Chains A and B, each alone.
Chain A
Amino acid sequence: MPLLILIVKSLIIFTFVLMFCVAYIIWVERKVLGHMQGRLGPMHTGFHGLLQPIADILKCVIKEDIIPAAADKIVFIMAPVMSVLPAVMCLAAIPFSKNIYASNLNIGLLYLLALGSLGVYGIATCGWGGNSKYGFLGSLRSTAQLISYEVPMGLAVLGPVMMARSLNLIDIVEAQKSAWYILFQPVGFFIFIVCAAAETNRVPFDLPEAETELVAGFHVEYSGFKFVAFFLAEYMNMFTTSTLAAILFFGGWYGPFFSGPVWFMIKVYAFLILYIWVRGTFPRYRYDQLMELGWKFLLPLALANLGLTSIGIVIFG
């Protein structure tokens, strides 16, 4: 019976996230960018284009699935799976409120960080499998980028962990009942949000798929449903990092007037819209500048923040 409940819970969460937190993020992105750029965004498919994500998915599914002649076929087919699987597995550990979650892991944060770094295997194999130079360069960029930004991100999330004295995401939120950690960890939050943008390949760090440099980057050879898988993985990762930002720094589901899950989703969507806003505003970094920012600025800053947090905890308990 508990197994059945677990399966049903997982299915509900998976469907909910897939539909409302991934498919409709894409719709929100197109709408918000449309307003920022003085154009309409989707309008014709349903009311204000609400059926657009469904139309997009249908279109991609019925597209011809091309595998280049020179591709390493097994690697080529496995790459989208390797990319999307860790992204989906992340959903298991995300608590939407004190009681709504698939699994309450006592190492929830560690689990999410570990799975987050697994996604890079999908991108690396994708660039290799397609046997395209653009794809190869994109996947190399992505690998270096993910490894570089994983380090300061790991250090940035340690602040809330040290303050809550737990890796359990529910415990971390519960510890913020009286005051959100953003008040004590603004630097940590800044580092986290920058690294999160880099980890999810969002502007200004969208180098692996910089369309004006590498045509489409790592997924240049992919079409149809395989391409959708990469797309899905990217947006799921965006969702996961936004939930992490809400959980670690903004008190998760705590807030006045509304119920827990509503507050949680408001916060998550606020971060997602922040990503979209940044996409509409900033140009893209160059590869070496991105590395420089990661290793020479964010890493020392994260270490300093960690040191100060430790001192603060020792002094103020």
Chain B
Amino acid sequence: MKEMDELKRKVLELLKEDARSSAALMATLLGAEEEDVKTAIEQMEKDHVIVKYATVVNWDKVSDERVTALIEVQITPERGRGFEGIAERIYLYPQVKSVYLMSGAYDLLVEVEGRNLREVANFVSEKLSPIDSVLSTKTNFTLKKYKQDGIIFEEHEEDNRLLISP
């Protein structure tokens, strides 16, 4: 069981590096059986440990207009449900890309994506702010993304080493 847990952890690390890694390649890298790797992945997919295989995209390089805003939201928690109900109301909107419950000066950090500033502004004024429990919002537009999920967007991974060395 412990071995399986260890294998799962290592498989996750490899998948985080490259979600397209095949079970055969991962088995070779980890010195494991291919079947065991496949089983580990199936279990983790079933248990929702692996939620989805996604691609990190630098949208700035695609001629596709879109803006992102990080919105700080202060809310009054609901009796019995705390922040859960409000969070759900907010994250169900398709414009909302992520929602985090935060400690500190505000309660929820909401990432919203739209085609332009007006679309995001409309979402905040027409959808988010009118929710009863929402006390205030503060909208921060993203000007440029430098790094996301540990990946630096502008870094060109060049191998500067000599081709042959002692």
A, B co-complexed? no
Q: Which residues of B contact A (CB under 8 A)?
A: none
